[in-house]
Amino acid sequence: MFPFSDASNKVVDVKTICAMTNNTSFCSNLLNSRPGGAAGADLHTLMQYTVDVIYGNVTDTIELINMLIANCNNQDVSAKYHFGLCLRALICAKSDIEYNRNQLQFKNYDRLSVGFALVDTDLQTQTCSVFPPHYNDSSVLPKYVEGVTQVNQIIGTIFSLLRSG
């Protein structure tokens, strides 16, 4: 078991967390948008907030995909296939995020590593912007998926800090 209990109460500066991500500005804006701000918030609190954010983002993205499928021209088989793959990937991600939310609620940090790895796999191996590679998606879906991916990276960074103690 990892020494999570001590690390979960640890306060880490937003700049330190965000310096470990690919998009420091996005990270800083997200963490500082937490009600009450991020200053003085411990890692557990920041983790809960970002998991809630990604859950909302994935839910919104699933709703967008359902709308895109409903509005899709029946003759555009590539679009329907593309959106269907995205939908399946994000439904899997949402299920894994729900698992993580439950584990986080009970501070079962040792079980989070599996859950976050699954979300990462859902997003990396089935990312809507690359499957099928020949489909040129001009909708806002790639932007939504990129946002989900960036929030997931922040979660991974916070998790690494939790794990390192």
The pTM of the full predicted model, rounded to 2 decimals, is 0.89
Task: Report residue 74 as tokens.
Answer: 């029946």
Helices (H), 20-140: 24-32, 43-70, 77-105, 109-125
- pLDDT, one tens digit per residue, over 18-64 is 999 999 999 999 999 999 999 999 999 999 999 999 999 999 999 99
- Amino acid identity of residue 51, one-letter, is V
Domains of the chain: 4-164 (1.20.140.40)
Backbone angles phi, psi at 120, to 5 degrees: -60, -45
pLDDT digits (tens, 9 = 90+) for 74-128: 888 888 888 998 899 899 999 999 999 998 998 888 777 777 777 777 777 655 6
